[in-house]
Amino acid sequence: MLILLNDIDGAKRYIHQGKKIVDQYNLTGPYLIAGYLIAKFMLDIQILKRALISGTDPDLSNLKRRAYRSGNTALRKLKNYAKFRTKTLRLSGEYYWLIGKQNKALKWWDKAVKKGEELGARPDLSRTYFEIGKALLDPKSKYREWDGVSAKEYLEKAKTMFQDMDLQYDLDELDKITHLS
């Protein structure tokens, strides 16, 4: 939640506490560490995103490496944990988009869509549609559509699902994007 509220320092404190608990009790089961792994990956992506936007962080390669490692760990350890599978794949796509590997990002998002449909993971599926639509709208995007679907169509899919599930925060985020374009 703190990551979504842009409280990076607060999120770092909680991640640090989570790491201490995982290490202290030697937690290994995916259902025990999933929240920690996903939050760490999300935080590393957010820190990387901030550094890329500001363009002032001289340690960019280290931030990329940290985000890659936390994503790789989450993918590996949560591979068979369906509850977070779609989200982990979506976040991997977001990571690759940030580092400029657009084709790879879209492939990860494609995996997330397929897994989300297979598992019926509607919130994460709708957020994946949103990420794809947002990325395709990006002026730096090499792509205007993916798999025969335009950015607008992905955003419409996301909007319909957000409305069906009454995900107000997501609708507000979508509204910000559609008003900019």
Q: What is the pTM of this model?
A: 0.94
pLDDT of residue 114: 98
CB 108 within 8 A of CB 89: yes
pLDDT of residue 2: 76
Q: Any residues with CB less than 8 A from the CB of 133 and at least 6 apart, and which? A: 151, 152, 153, 154, 155, 157, 158, 177
pLDDT (tens place) for every residue of the chain, 181 residues total: 678 778 899 999 999 999 999 999 999 899 999 999 999 999 999 999 999 998 877 899 999 999 999 999 999 999 999 999 999 999 999 999 999 999 999 999 999 999 999 999 999 999 999 999 999 999 999 999 999 999 999 999 999 999 999 999 999 999 999 886 6
pLDDT of residue 17: 95
Helix segments in the chain, DSSP class H: 8-24, 30-54, 60-77, 82-98, 102-119, 122-137, 151-165, 168-180
Quote the CA–CA distance of 53 and 130 in Å, as a whole number: 20
Domain boundaries, given as residue ranges, for the chain: 1-80, 86-181
Cα 11–94–137 angle (5° rounding)?
120
